[in-house]
Structures are given as structure tokens and as C-alpha cells.
Amino acid sequence: MQKFINDPSLVVDEMLQGYVNAHPDLVSHTENDRVLKYKHAPVEGKVGIVTGGGSGHKPAFVGYIGKNMCDAVAVGEIFTSPPAQMFLDAIKAADSGKGVAILYGNYAGDNMNVSMAMEEAEDEGIRVKKVVANDDVPSAPLSEREKRRGVAGEILMWKVGGARAAMGASLDEVIAASQKAIDNTRSIGVGLSGCTIPDVGHPNFSVDPGKMEVGIGHHGEPGIEVADLETAAEVARRMVDVVLPDLPFEKEDEVVLLLSGLGSTPVMELYILYRDVIAKLEEKGLRVYLSYVGNYFTSLEMAGATLTLMKLDEELKQCIDYEADSVGLRQFQRNIH
Amino acid sequence: MSTFKNSEGAVIVDRMIVVIQENKQFLSDIDGLIGDGDHGVNMNKGFTMCREELDNTPGNLAFSALSLSKILIMKIGGSMGPLYGKMFRGFAKELEGKEEIDIHAMAAALEAMLSSVQSISPAKPGDKTLIDTLSPAVAAFKTAASEGKEFEVALDEMKSAAISGRDSTRDMVAQLGRASRLGERSRGVLDAGASSCCLILETLADTTKELLES
């Protein structure tokens, strides 16, 4: 394996040790060594924002711990849901007494572990509610949207939920805004290579040279089709053609555009793809309000990209414009609209 | 009518712990063919933590199964932690407070194992999961019990159904879980969860028979 590791079974623990030491102004350890929290969490008078999931998606999930973002994160093994105890400890680390919103992606393990942690938290008198992200269009038909997986759209859900909480909203208001954020969000991934879980030692799947997997999931879940690799402009057209009709996004809609690399695709290529995506969106009459381009939600060293669009209204715009300070997403207050 | 005492039944959980520890590598190896190869490692971690817990705080069968359940639910993660955790919780809750365990109590406990798993998982028979072992095994035991067969015979029939259920996963295409990403490529190998579930049910059958004989 061409990897910078010591012991394959300790990659998550060693990564977390490095992470906290690198960002002491933002994050700190908790009593549970698999739960990291915002240095100032629980923030007095604010609804706590919790997320979590398997590792291997840097900067997700711990990278979105910070000011006006997530307060605490449960960190599982690579591509494996954290146990209920970790989610419970994250809930406790985030709770200031105003309740906790747990905002995570739709995966079987996470659903089970979160629901058990929520039961325990409620038994301990903590108010906790959840929103489950399901923005990945190719993972199930629209009629079965509840089966769709959560992918990079989770970041926009955290951005909105985190901002709404920071504005002083109640738990129900934070939950409603976060749910609206994900309901207005659609994503699609295109994969160009597999990835290797260090403790497994061999790639979990492969994409043949000259091919691409359209609709691939964040752990290599099979997509809609394996096609011949096309130009960036043609890939952009495919992505836009899947995402737009699903919501649907229509002429004059204002959108946030998130284009995330999956791990080993050069950012240069992301900007080429971005150029072609916005050309397609302009053709359809959509207006891009704000763009995020970079490695925001990866899958180890998979090559490829995820396109995410979120349709905006006034509330979502205010949340997106809100100041945020985390390793994965850092922006000043925007005063655009 | 043959029964065994709840107070003597903890040996069932003791044996389950041993069988999981002994099969750690085997379970990880079959998981590695279509999954991420950590099933044996995670199961061994949970069952071994339970061993330490029971060494400190021993109890009867229901208590031991509940201790195992709590560790699997809270400490293991992934999907298997909560699924097996719920399964043992259902088993334990059904047997709690019973001094003697007869064929009907065992039938109810097995039924509770299945319904507890189904309460948190949408898996159906044929999806290539542990349900393909558990569901026919529970059905076989209940049928034998309702037909008035001996406890020992019902256990044998449960065990055979578990084994053939496990083996049936070889020709299935995974519909749920990590292996479902492979689609057709998941055909031809046993499901790791169905295999560990089979080991657990075989151990339950064999150890219960020993208890009934003693």
C-alpha cells in the first residue's frame, strides 16, 4: 500500500491524535477518545449540533466541528458506523440544556446506532431530535427517497443547522431548517477509481482504465452505470441531467453549488468540471448564489467527484451567508443578498 | 417434561463467547471476500468484552445474555453491534424471571430474537443476511414445539435449519449492507453475518442439549 501509516488497525486513532494537535484552537478531545468536540462546546444557550459516521471521508466529519457548525462528532472505524455509546457521548458533549440536533447520513448502521443513542439520551433527560440526509439521487428512485444515502449534501445541512442554532433558534427550528436544507438538496457522484481500507489492504472495488462509474456512492456503492470515460463537459452534462429533474431545479432558482473531490482527483480537474457544470446550469437558467469547490467530502483515495446542488430560499440564504469557522469550511459573514 | 435451570444456563453464553473467539479469523476471512473483513474482529471484540464483564459480574442465562446485549449495542458499532445486541436483548428479556426453561420458553425466546432484529432491520429472507439463518431456525424450532416434539429434537431441527439457512446465502445476491455494493459480484460466497449467527445458534442447540441431559 502506498500509504503514510504505522499500524493499519490504528489509523483512526492516530489520525485523531494528529488532528486535535493540529487544530487546538477549534477542537478538543472528550472523555471518549472517539468523540471530538468544539473547544467551546457546549455553547451556552445554543442548540447542540452533533454528527458522526465512519472514518475515511476527511474533512468530514471532524472537519466540520467549529464555530457555528458542529459541536461534537462521533468517529467510527473506516467506513463503519460508530457505536451508540459514541453518539451518546457526542450528544452529551454538545448539550447545553437547549437540546441537541443530530444531523447525519442515511446508512443502516448509523440509523440503528443513532436511534439507540437517542433513546439513552432521552432516558437521561436530554432533548434530542434528528435529521437524516438522503441527497444521493442515484442510490434509489425518487419514489423511494427515504432509501437514498446521504453524501456531500450533509455539509450544507450542517452549515444551515449550525447557523440556525447559532442565531438562537429552538431545537424544533433547527431541525426544521436542517430538514428543509436536505429536502432542497440533490447530489450525484462519478467515480474513476476504487480505494483501499488500510486494515483490508486491497482495493474494495476497481474501475477499469477508460471507464467511469456514474452514480457511485461514498464507499464505492455501485452507481447507475459503468460507462466509457468522457470529457469533463460530457460528465458535467450527465451529472446535471440527473440532479436537476429530481427536485426539480427550475429556471430562476438560486442554488448553492458544492463540487467535492472524492480523494485523489486533482483540484485542477474539479475546476474544469466546475466550469462545465456552471455552463450547463446557466443554459437551464439557474443562478449560482455561492460555490464550494474542493475536497469537502472524500472517500479515502477514490478518484472522482460529487456534485451537490441546494435550492435556496430566504432562510437558507441567511444560514449559508452566516459566518463559519471549521477546518473544512471557513467563511466570513457574507452580506450579499 | 425436560427443562433446565436459568441459573445454570449461563454456560450457553460462555460457550458462545468461546466459539466466536475461536472463529475470529474465519469470520473475518469470509467477510473479506465481499465485505471489509472486520466481522470476526468486531464480534470477537464485543464477545471478549462480555467475557470480562461476566467474570466480574456473573449471573444466570438471562442476565448473561443481557450483559452481552448491552456491550454489543453500546460499544461495537457498525450494523452488527446493534443487530446482535437487539437479538440478545430480545432473548434475555423473554427469559428474565423464569426459573425453569422448557421448550415453550425457548420457543418464545427464539421468536423474540427474530422479532427484535426485525424491529430495527428491514432485512427479509433472501437478502443474504443473518436473517437467512435466524428466520428458518426459529421457524423450525417453533414448528417442532407445536407438533409436540421433544425439546432435544426441536433443538436438532433448529440447528439443521440454521446450517442450511447459512448455506443458502452462498447463492444469494446481497441486497443490504456493505456487500450489496457488489451486486452480482456478491454471489458465490457465504454471508459473514449468516455464518456467525449459525455458530451462535449451533452453540445454543448443543449446549442446551447438554444442560437437558445433565
What does A216-261 look like in DSSP terms, one character per residue? --TT----SEEEE---HHHHHHHHHHHHGGGTT--TT-EEEEEEEE
Identify all chain A residues contacting B73, using CB atoms and an 8 Å cutoff. Answer: 83-84, 116
- Nearest Cα residue to A133 out of A90, A82, A185, A81: A185
The DSSP bridge partners found for residue A291 are A257
Measured CA to CA, the distance from residue A187 to residue A209 in angstroms comes to 25
Domain count, chain B: 1
A4: left (phi over 0), alpha (psi -120 to 50) or beta: beta
pLDDT of A125-134, one tens digit each? 999 999 999 9
Contacts of A18 (CB under 8 A, 6+ apart): none
Whether B76 contacts chain A with CB within 8 A: yes
Catalytic residue status for A57: yes
Q: Which three cell numbers stand for residue B211?
A: 444442560
- pLDDT range class, residue A212, cuts 50, 70, 90: very high
B131 phi and psi angles, rounded to 5 deg: -60, -30
Catalytic residue status for A40: no
**In this complex, which of B36, B76, B120 lies closest to A79 when CB atoms are compared?**
B36
Contacts of A68 (CB under 8 A, 6+ apart): A162, A163, A165, A166, A322, A323, A324, A325
Measured CA to CA, the distance from residue A134 to residue A204 in angstroms comes to 23
Q: Which domain holds residue B109?
A: 4-213
Cβ pair A76:B77 closer than 8 A? yes
Query: B181 to chain A nearest CA, in Å?
Result: 4
ipTM of this complex prediction, to 2 decimal places: 0.81
Interface of A with B in 124-183 (CB under 8 A): none
Cβ pair B36:A85 closer than 8 A? no
* Number of residues written out for chain A: 337
**In this complex, which of B75, B82, B176 lies closest to A112 when CB atoms are compared?**
B82
Among A111, A113, A216, which would you mutate to test the B interface (most chain B Cβ atoms within 10 Å of its Cβ)?
A113
Return the percentage of chain A with pLDDT > 90, whole number.
92
Measured CA to CA, the distance from residue B153 to residue B141 in angstroms comes to 9
Cβ pair B182:A222 closer than 8 A? yes
- pLDDT range class, residue A219, cuts 50, 70, 90: confident
pLDDT of B95-149, one tens digit each? 999 999 999 999 999 999 999 999 989 899 999 999 999 999 999 999 999 999 9
Identify all chain A residues contacting B36, using CB atoms and an 8 Å cutoff. Answer: 78-80, 197, 199-200, 204
Which helix (H) or strand (E) segment is A117 a member of?
Answer: helix A108-123
- pLDDT range class, residue B31, cuts 50, 70, 90: confident
Identify all chain A residues contacting B76, using CB atoms and an 8 Å cutoff. Answer: 83
Q: What is the dihedral of CA B174, B175, B176, B179, to 10 degrees?
A: 30
Domain boundaries, chain A: 8-183, 185-331
Is A185-331 in the same CATH topology as A8-183?
Answer: no
Nearest residue of chain B to residue A205 (CA atoms) = B182
pLDDT of residue A337: 57
Q: Which three cell numbers stand for residue A289?
A: 448564489
Among B38, B42, B86, B186, which would you mutate to test the A interface (most chain A Cβ atoms within 10 Å of its Cβ)?
B38
Nearest residue of chain A to residue B80 (CA atoms) = A109
pLDDT of A294-305, one tens digit each? 999 999 999 999
Q: Which class is domain A185-331?
A: alpha beta
The DSSP bridge partners found for residue A294 are A260
What is the residue-averaged pLDDT of chain A? 96
What is the residue-averaged pLDDT of chain B? 94
Whether domain A8-183 has CATH 3.50.50.60: no
Tell me A170's DSSP state: -
Nearest residue of chain B to residue A85 (CA atoms) = B74
Catalytic one of A23, A29, A57, A337: A57
Cβ pair B121:A112 closer than 8 A? yes
